[in-house]
């Protein structure tokens, strides 16, 4: 079957091409490369890169440890703040966070490669199975965590270190959340997401129950009555509607589901892809879907975004990556109607847009892009049942600065909370901090005269 054949087909490439296309995007630095990269760091005392990191990793310290030949010590510095530091080194938009604030940018317009150095250290520690933490004596307390994504795993690990027993409930077959199901395959190869889950769980005291969904198999009230505390680390299960004619045609798919299917596929040739693909959206999911469509053998891949380049949520680095893979990014285009032929996608009708008095407005100029497959990457929504009287705000769970919700004994973090930014590193920080708050609350409840205090 030729790669130029129209329609949606499997096996557009040779096995060698699939292997090459989905190899590691940025392989781990070798020892010499790591020393050279670390030598560029000024080891700032008041390091702006630390302030830009949501988990507040001591970046100058971990880079100095690498520069002195101590990658294991460097990994501990990272894991002390971010137990999922290995995955964050792969998927975190460092170009928008720590590396953007690196002082090397001022003189050289090229930051220290903080992300790649973080991966270097954490990969070595995980490969050698270096365990830096041991559980303290059992507290006799048991905490339920809903969601085995970054927030839930970070929360569970910190609680387990404190001596609590933790049970994680997750609706999917595997733990990991978006790290397992929502990250572009070439960003985390060799089943790294599951290796990291195993590394986190090796602390002990954490049980994972898969295939257990809130609202279907249990309610928040059930957990609150059976556990000493509850942490909600729910992801975003809903998908925004396109609200365009033809949205339900054969060939229109959800980009998040497509990325998940690709990540779980044993053979990339089993994933069918169109000859001409259009991706609707301007975020990281749109970039991941478009790039992987190209890597699967699509001849033409176009991202359509209704606003300008400067408005895209995807970083400039990710946009450049897509362009380097042959993806065309077109701005100021809004979908109007999906065209069909015999019940299948044949193209998409788009309207040119512009900003008028700060409001996005259609110009009335219409164009058509030929396509046989269209991916929707226009955002997700929080959908959950079984939450009872939990206070919501802007369709997300409302929390305070420690992650406490409106219900006693219930905390939350990650994408499900108000203010979540869809970043793995931010979810880790919220899960970690909520665990500290939970631990303090449980410790206070067991102290004599705690009620009086």
- Residue 269 · residue 13 · CB < 8 Å: yes
Residue 2 confidence (pLDDT): 46
Residue 254 has pLDDT above 50, yes or no: yes
DSSP string, 383-429: -----TT--EETTEE---TTSB-SSTTEEE-STTBTT--S-HHHHHH
State pLDDT tens for residues 260-288.
Answer: 999 999 999 999 999 999 999 999 999 99
- Alpha carbon of residue 315 to chain centroid: 14
Q: How far apart are CA 115 and CA 87, in angstroms?
A: 10
| 355/447: higher pLDDT | 355
Residue 422 confidence (pLDDT): 80
Q: How far apart are CA 447 and CA 445, in angstroms?
A: 6
- Residue 63 · residue 84 · CB < 8 Å: no
Residue 77 has pLDDT above 70, yes or no: yes
The Cα angle at residue 71 between residues 65 and 72, in degrees rounded to 5 = 110
- Alpha carbon of residue 2 to chain centroid: 34
**Which SS3 state, helix, strand or coil, does residue 166 take?**
strand
| 210-244: b (≥16 Cβ within 10 Å) or e | eebbbeeebebeebbeebbbbbbbbbbeebeebeb
Lowest-confidence pick of 217-221, 249-253, 334-338, 384-388:
384-388
Q: 400 CB contacts (<8 Å, ≥6 apart)? A: none
- Residue 300 · residue 275 · CB < 8 Å: yes
Instruction: For residue 4, name the pLDDT band (cuts at 50, 70, 90).
Output: low
**Which SS3 state, helix, strand or coil, does residue 203 take?**
coil
Q: What is the DSSP letter of 214?
A: B
Residue 436 has pLDDT above 50, yes or no: yes
Average pLDDT over residues 322-333: 97
Q: How far apart are CA 132 and CA 144, in angstroms?
A: 24
Residue 451 confidence (pLDDT): 46
- Residue 169 · residue 144 · CB < 8 Å: yes
- When the pLDDT of each residue in the chain is averaged and rounded to a whole number, the result is 94
Rounded to the nearest 5 percent, the helix, strand and coil shares of the chain are 35, 20, 45
Residue 450 confidence (pLDDT): 45
Instruction: For residue 448, name the pLDDT band (cuts at 50, 70, 90).
Output: low
Residue 129 confidence (pLDDT): 94
- Residue 283 · residue 313 · CB < 8 Å: yes
Q: Is 45 exposed, middle or buried (0-12, 13-18, 19+ CB in 10 A)?
A: exposed
- Residue 82 · residue 50 · CB < 8 Å: no
- Alpha carbon of residue 164 to chain centroid: 27
- Residue 309 · residue 329 · CB < 8 Å: yes
DSSP string, 68-100: TT-HHHHHHHHHHH-TTHHHHHHHS-TTTTTGG
Q: 52 CB contacts (<8 Å, ≥6 apart)? A: 97, 98, 100, 101
Residue 1 has pLDDT above 60, yes or no: no
State pLDDT tens for residues 284-312.
Answer: 999 999 999 999 999 999 999 999 999 99
Average pLDDT over residues 235-251: 87
Residue 240 confidence (pLDDT): 84
Output the six-digit token pair for 388: 């009872």
In the chain, the percentage of residues whose pLDDT exceeds 70 is 98
State pLDDT tens for residues 152-188.
Answer: 999 999 999 999 999 999 999 999 999 999 999 999 9
- Global confidence as pTM: 0.94
State pLDDT tens for residues 330-344.
Answer: 999 999 999 999 889
Q: How far apart are CA 323 and CA 308, in angstroms?
A: 16
State pLDDT tens for residues 354-372.
Answer: 999 999 999 999 999 999 9
Average pLDDT over residues 37-47: 94
């Amino acid at each position: 079957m030729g790669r130029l054949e129209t329609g949606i087909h499997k096996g557009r490439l040779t096995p060698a091409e699939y292997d090459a296309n989905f190899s590691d995007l940025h392989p781990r630095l070798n020892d010499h490369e790591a020393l050279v990269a670390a030598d560029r760091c000024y080891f700032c005392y008041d390091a702006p890169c630390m302030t830009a990191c949501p988990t507040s990793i001591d970046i100058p310290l971990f880079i100095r440890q690498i520069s002195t030949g101590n990658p294991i010590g460097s990994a501990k510095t990272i894991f002390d703040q971010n137990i999922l530091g290995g995955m964050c080194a792969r998927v975190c938009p460092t170009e928008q966070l720590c590396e953007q604030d690196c002082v090397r940018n001022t003189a050289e317009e090229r930051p220290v490669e903080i992300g790649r150095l973080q991966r270097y250290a954490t990969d070595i520690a995980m490969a050698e199975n270096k365990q830096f933490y041991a559980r303290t004596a059992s507290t006799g307390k048991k905490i339920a965590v809903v969601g085995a994504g970054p927030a839930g795993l970070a929360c569970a690990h910190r609680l387990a270190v404190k001596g609590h027993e933790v049970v994680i409930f997750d609706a999917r077959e595997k733990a990991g959340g978006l790290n397992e199901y929502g990250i572009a395959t070439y960003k985390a190869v060799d089943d790294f997401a599951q290796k990291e889950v195993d590394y986190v769980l090796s602390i002990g005291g954490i049980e994972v129950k898969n295939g257990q969904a809130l609202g279907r198999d249990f309610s928040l009230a059930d957990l609150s009555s059976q556990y000493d505390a509850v942490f909600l680390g729910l992801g975003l299960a809903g998908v925004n509607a396109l609200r365009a004619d033809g949205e339900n045609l054969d060939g229109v798919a959800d980009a998040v589901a497509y990325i998940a299917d690709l990540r779980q596929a044993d053979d990339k040739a089993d994933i069918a892809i169109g000859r001409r693909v259009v991706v609707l959206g301007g975020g990281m999911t749109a970039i991941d879907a478009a790039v992987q469509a190209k890597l699967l053998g699509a001849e033409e891949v176009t991202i359509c975004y209704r606003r300008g380049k400067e408005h895209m949520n995807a970083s400039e680095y990710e946009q450049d990556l897509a362009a380097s893979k042959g993806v065309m990014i077109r701005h100021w285009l809004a979908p109007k109607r999906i065209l069909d032929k015999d019940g299948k996608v044949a193209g998409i009708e788009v309207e040119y847009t512009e900003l008028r008095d700060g409001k996005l407005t259609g110009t009335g100029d219409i164009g058509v892009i030929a396509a046989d497959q269209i991916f929707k990457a226009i955002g997700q929504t929080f959908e959950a049942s079984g939450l009872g009287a939990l206070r919501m705000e802007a369709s997300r769970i409302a929390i305070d600065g420690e992650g406490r919700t409106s219900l006693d004994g219930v905390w939350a973090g990650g994408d499900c909370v108000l203010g979540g930014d869809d970043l793995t590193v931010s979810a880790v920080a919220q899960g970690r901090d909520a665990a500290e708050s939970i631990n303090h609350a449980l410790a206070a409840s067991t102290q004599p005269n705690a009620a009086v205090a």
